[in-house]
Structure 1
Amino acid sequence: MPDGLAEQVRARDLPISSICQDALRKAVDLAEKKEQIMSDMQAVVERLRGTQDEERQHHVDEGRELGILWAKEYATASELRKVAEGDGEAYEHGVGSTAGIAEFYAEVENSYDPKYQEEHNDAFVLGAREVWDAVKHEL
């Protein structure tokens, strides 16, 4: 304790031990509350991350399903080949009229979210590729 503070405490005849004990108890209580809050926050963060994973997976699943639907019911043979055998660049959702896909998205119900664009697009191509792989030997 600084000398000046010690002099002020002695001059007022304050009980240093009990005051220090009370202050330390309060400090410990506050630290425990912060630890509990942080523990609770970690659980909240983990739960919220789980919802992000679920949301991401929803967009991946939807992308694949839309790729299959497009391949089965909308694509021409050359469009399907272009998307399925390309490196993914033949498909860019919402950009121009690449293989008629922009028009397809305008017609079908979907929850496309740019936040998951890459995952969605990759899954769309995967779905289209699955159909192409199943039918290309028949064409």
Structure 2
Amino acid sequence: MRMNISVPDELAEQVRARDLPISSICQDALRKAVDLAEKKEQIMTDMQAVVERLRATQNEERQRHIDEGRELGILWAKQYATADELRQVAEGDGEDYERGIGSGAGIAEFYQEVENNYDEEYQEEHNDAFVEGAREVWEAVKHLL
């Protein structure tokens, strides 16, 4: 296939003065450009796969914190909370619940006792799940109290 290319006059004069093989030089340059473009495309395809894998690990980590928060809420409700504390957490709106801060329900002490270190990135999900776990226990026992 024939292609026409344009080059600045000064460059054309320099190429002619040195009797350089224009066609083979252009072909080599185009091959290198195509090879580089293909490598970039492959990297981007690989990066998409990496991004998808990393997102999956983020979702797994988030779910782990949710599950852990729920389990701790259930444990706290069953083994540590008083009836009033459990009712306070379970019937509250959950907005001011932050691992015992503001709730007055001894939750901060509970977390120290069970030596749980949660990830700050998932604190909100963990806290919501803790409250949900406590609510599950409250709903199961409140009519028996």
Number of the residue aligned with 2:95: 89
SS of the residue 1:112 aligns to: coil
Whole-angstrom distance in 1 between the partners of 2:20 and 2:41: 32
| 1:136 paired to 2:136 | no
2:96 aligned with 1:62: no
Do the aligned partners of 1:90 and 1:99 also contact (CA within 8 Å) in 2? no
Residues 1-139 of structure 1: matches in 2 within 5 Å? 1-93=7-99, 95=101, 98-139=104-145
Aligned residues: 139
Cα distance in 1 between the residues matched to 2:131 and 2:119: 16
Structure 1 residue ranges without an equivalent (≥5): none
Q: Is the Cα contact below 8 Å between 2:74 and 2:137 reproduced in 1?
A: yes
Q: How far off is 1:38 after superposition?
A: 1.2
Letter in 1 for 2:15: V
Question: So what's the TM-score if we normalise by structure 1?
Answer: 0.95
CA distance in 2, matches of 1:135, 1:18: 85
Q: CA RMSD in A?
A: 1.3
The answer to which of 125-134 and 94-103 deviates more is: 94-103
Structure 2 spans left out of the alignment, 5+ residues? 1-6
Contact 1:97 1:103 survives alignment (8 Å): no
Tell me: CA distance 1:121–1:7, structure 2 relative to 1, closer, same or farther (3 Å). Answer: same
What is the TM-score of this pair, normalised by structure 2? 0.91
8 A Cα contact 1:91 1:99, kept in partner = no
Structure 2 Cα separation of the partners of residues 20 and 94 of structure 1 = 71
Cα drift, residue 112 of structure 1: 1.1
